[in-house]
C-alpha cells in the first residue's frame, strides 16, 4: 500500500443498479483496485442491488468474468478475496417487496459507515431515497451518492435535490462529477495555488483566452437511447466542462475546506454571462455526427445507432464569458463531442502577446505563451515558451514545449481511475470533490436559457462527419475572433 492511500474504515456500500454499466465498468473495478491496494479492509461489504433474478453466487460469477483482467498477472488471489466481500440482493426499487429483508440484513451490521450509491436512472433517485428513509436506513451518518446529470433542467434538478434532501442531509449527499476525481483536475488546484508563478498573471490583463476541449472518439453506441434525451450540453457541459471552467476561473479559496472551495466555484457559475435566444446563434454551435471513418473503420451515424429520428446534439462548442473583474473580456471556448478524431481532454490557457517585439528583424514570429493541462491521455502539463534556436547564424526564435508528464515525473505505473479516489472520499466523508446542491442548480440556471434558445430556433444540430472536429461552424466560432483551436487537439 502506498502511504498516499491510508486504509479507510470498514464500510457497507450498497449499489443500486448493481448489474448496470456504471457498476460493472467503473465502480466495481475501482473498488477492486482499492482493495488490492489494501485501502479497503476486511469487514467491508459491498451489496449490489438489481431486479435481475440472480443469487449472490451467480452475481459473483458474473463479476469474476467482468473483473478478471483488472489486476495484473499474479494477483488472481486478490480477486477471489474481493469477491468474498460482494453480496447481491434482488430488489425492485419501485415495489414494496423485499425492502424489509434488505433493511434487516443491513441493520444487522451496525457500526460500519453506510453508503448508498444510486447508479440508476435519475427518475429512480426520489423513490429509492424515500424507501431508504421509510426503512430507517437514511439516519445517522448514512451517505447517498448520486450520479450526474442531476435532472435535465433547473426544475427537475430542484425536484431531485428536494427529494434526496428529504431523506439525506446535504453533508451526507455526494453528487458525483467524476471529472473532479481526475488527477490533472486536482493538479490544476495544486498548480494554481501551490506555485507563486501563475496567480499574478491569472487574469484578464495577461490571459488572452482559455480553451477547454473534451473530445471522444466513441459514439453514443449502446447509450443512444439515454443520450438522445440528454445531448452533449446536458451530458458533458452542465457538469464536467463547467466544473473545469470553475477551477480555472475561481478566486483562491481560503483553504481546501470543501465549502471554501465550493463557495468560490459557485461565484464563477453566478458570474457566467447569460446566453439566450438573443445571442445563442453567435455564441453556441451544435452538431450531430454522420457516418464516417473513425477508429480505422467506417462507423454509423448517430441516427443509425439510435435506429430512428435523432434529436440530440453530439457536439457542442460555446463561447462563454465570466463577467467579473478578473475575467471580463476573456473568452472561455468550450468544445466537446463524440466521434471526434482523437480522445483528448485538455485545458489551454493562452497568454497575451508580448507588448513589443525586439525580434522583428529576425523574421521570427513570437507566439503567445500557452499553458496546456492535459487531463487525458498522457496526463501532464506543458508550458509553451519562445526559445532561441541553437547555433550561429542570427537570433531566431521558436516555440518549444516545457513538458511535464505525470508518468515520467512521478514514475506513475497506472493512473488510478477517478472513481477510486471519489469512492474512498465518500467513505471518509470528504465532500470537497463533489458538487454541492447550489452549484448544480447554478449550472442549470446558465444551461436552461441555452436549451430554451435551441428549442425555440428552427435549426437542427449541424451535421459533421464522424472522425472530424465537428461542424465547420465550430471553427468559425473561434476564428471570427481571430483565434484558432489549439492544434494539439485539432
Minimum CB distance to ligand BG6 smaller for 218 or for 360: 218
Instruction: For 357, list phi and psi in degrees, rounded to 5.
Output: -105, 130
Write the binding mask 275 to 304 for ligand BG6: x where contact by CB under 6 A, - elsewhere.
------------------------------
For the segment 109-168, give every residue that binds ligand BG6 (CB under 6 A): none
Determine how many CB atoms are found less than 10 A away from the CB of residue 291. Answer: 17
Do 277 and 452 contact (CB within 8 A), yes or no?
yes
How many alpha carbons lie under 13 Å from residue 206 in its C-beta half-sphere? 11
For the segment 230-269, give every residue that binds ligand BG6 (CB under 6 A): 235
Cα-Cα-Cα-Cα dihedral sign, residues 406, 410, 411, 415: negative
Determine how many CB atoms are found less than 10 A away from the CB of residue 56. Answer: 15
Give dist(CA 76, CA 401) in Å, integer: 42
Beta-sheet pairing, 331-337 with 207-215? parallel
Determine how many CB atoms are found less than 10 A away from the CB of residue 381. Answer: 19
* Active-site position among 33, 89, 240, 486: 240
Instruction: For 473, list phi and psi in degrees, rounded to 5.
Output: -60, -25
Minimum CB distance to ligand BG6 smaller for 39 or for 345: 345
Three-state SS letters, 153-196: CHHHHHHHHHHHHHHCCHHHEEEECHHHHCHHHHHHHHHHHCCC
For the segment 398-417, give every residue that binds ligand BG6 (CB under 6 A): none
3-state SS assignment for residue 87: strand
Write the binding mask 341 to 370 for ligand BG6: x where contact by CB under 6 A, - elsewhere.
----x-------------------------
Minimum CB distance to ligand BG6 smaller for 208 or for 379: 379
Residue, CB closest to ligand BG6: 235
Size of the site for ligand BG6 (CB under 6 A): 3
Minimum CB distance to ligand BG6 smaller for 235 or for 346: 235
Q: Does 12 bind ligand BG6 (CB under 6 A)?
A: no
Write the binding mask 421 to 460 for ligand BG6: x where contact by CB under 6 A, - elsewhere.
----------------------------------------
Cell numbers for 429:
466523508
Minimum CB distance to ligand BG6 smaller for 149 or for 331: 149
How many alpha carbons lie under 13 Å from residue 201 in its C-beta half-sphere? 16
Give dist(CA 187, CA 181) in Å, integer: 10
- The total number of residues shown for the chain amounts to 490
Q: Binding residue for ligand BG6 (CB under 6 A) from 216, 228, 313, 441? A: 216
Minimum CB distance to ligand BG6 smaller for 216 or for 441: 216
Do 318 and 334 contact (CB within 8 A), yes or no?
yes
Task: Mention every residue, 6+ apart, whose C-beta is less than 8 A from residue 102.
Answer: 49, 89, 91, 135
Minimum CB distance to ligand BG6 smaller for 112 or for 156: 156
Minimum CB distance to ligand BG6, residue 257 (Å): 26
Of 274, 288, 296, 186, the closest CA to residue 453 belongs to 274
Angle between helices 242-249 and 437-456 (to 10 degrees): 120
Minimum CB distance to ligand BG6, residue 235 (Å): 5
Minimum CB distance to ligand BG6, residue 417 (Å): 8
Establish whether 68 is a catalytic residue.
no
Catalytic residues: 240
Residues within the interface to ligand BG6 (CB under 6 A): 216, 235, 345
Amino acid at each position: 500500500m502506498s502511504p498516499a492511500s491510508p486504509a479507510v474504515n470498514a464500510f457497507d456500500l450498497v449499489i443500486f443498479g448493481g448489474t448496470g454499466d456504471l457498476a460493472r465498468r467503473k465502480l466495481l473495478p475501482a473498488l477492486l483496485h482499492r482493495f488490492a491496494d489494501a485501502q479497503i479492509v476486511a469487514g467491508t461489504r459491498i451489496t449490489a442491488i438489481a431486479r435481475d433474478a440472480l443469487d449472490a453466487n451467480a452475481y459473483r460469477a458474473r463479476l469474476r468474468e467482468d473483473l478478471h483482467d483488472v489486476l495484473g498477472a499474479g494477483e488472481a488471489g486478490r480477486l477471489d478475496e474481493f469477491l468474498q466481500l460482494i453480496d447481491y440482493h434482488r430488489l425492485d426499487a419501485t415495489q414494496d417487496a423485499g425492502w424489509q429483508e434488505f433493511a434487516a440484513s443491513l441493520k444487522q451490521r451496525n457500526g460500519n459507515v453506510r453508503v448508498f450509491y444510486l447508479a440508476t436512472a435519475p427518475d429512480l433517485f426520489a423513490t429509492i431515497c424515500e424507501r431508504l428513509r421509510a426503512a430507517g436506513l437514511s439516519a445517522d451518518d448514512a451517505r447517498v451518492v448520486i450520479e450526474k446529470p442531476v435532472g435535465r433542467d433547473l426544475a427537475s434538478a430542484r425536484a431531485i435535490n428536494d427529494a434526496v434532501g428529504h431523506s439525506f442531509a446535504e453533508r451526507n449527499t455526494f453528487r458525483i462529477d467524476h471529472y473532479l476525481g481526475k488527477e490533472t483536475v486536482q493538479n490544476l488546484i495544486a498548480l494554481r495555488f501551490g506555485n507563486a508563478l501563475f496567480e499574478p498573471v491569472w487574469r484578464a490583463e495577461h490571459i488572452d483566452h482559455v480553451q477547454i476541449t473534451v473530445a471522444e472518439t466513441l459514439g453514443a453506441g449502446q447509450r443512444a437511447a439515454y443520450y438522445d434525451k440528454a445531448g452533449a450540453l446536458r451530458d458533458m457541459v452542465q457538469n464536467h466542462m463547467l466544473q473545469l471552467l470553475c477551477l480555472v476561473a475561481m478566486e483562491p479559496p481560503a483553504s481546501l475546506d470543501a465549502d471554501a472551495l465550493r463557495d468560490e466555484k459557485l461565484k464563477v457559475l453566478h458570474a457566467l454571462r447569460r446566453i439566450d435566444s438573443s445571442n445563442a446563434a453567435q455564441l453556441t454551435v451544435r452538431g450531430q455526427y454522420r457516418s464516417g471513418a473513425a477508429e480505422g473503420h467506417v462507423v454509423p451515424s448517430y441516427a443509425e445507432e439510435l435506429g430512428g429520428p435523432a434529436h440530440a446534439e453530439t457536439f457542442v462548442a460555446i463561447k462563454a464569458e465570466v463577467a467579473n473583474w478578473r475575467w471580463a473580456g476573456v473568452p472561455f471556448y468550450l468544445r466537446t463531442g463524440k466521434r471526434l478524431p482523437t480522445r483528448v481532454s485538455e485545458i489551454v490557457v493562452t497568454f497575451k502577446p508580448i507588448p513589443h517585439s525586439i525580434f522583428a528583424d529576425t523574421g521570427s514570429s513570437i507566439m503567445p505563451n500557452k499553458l496546456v493541462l492535459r487531463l487525458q491521455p498522457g496526463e501532464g502539463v506543458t508550458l509553451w515558451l519562445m526559445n532561441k534556436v541553437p547555433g550561429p547564424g542570427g537570433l531566431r526564435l521558436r516555440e518549444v514545449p516545457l513538458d511535464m508528464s505525470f508518468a515520467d515525473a512521478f514514475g506513475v505505473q497506472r493512473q488510478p481511475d477517478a472513481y477510486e479516489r471519489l469512492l474512498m472520499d465518500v467513505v471518509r466523508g470528504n465532500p470537497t470533490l463533489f458538487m454541492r446542491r447550489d452549484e448544480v442548480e447554478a449550472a442549470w440556471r446558465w444551461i436552461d436559457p441555452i436549451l430554451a434558445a435551441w428549442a425555440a430556433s428552427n435549426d437542427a444540430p449541424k451535421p459533421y462527419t464522424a472522425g472530424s472536429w465537428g461542424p465547420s461552424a465550430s471553427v468559425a466560432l473561434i476564428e471570427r475572433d481571430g483565434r484558432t483551436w489549439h492544434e494539439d487537439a485539432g
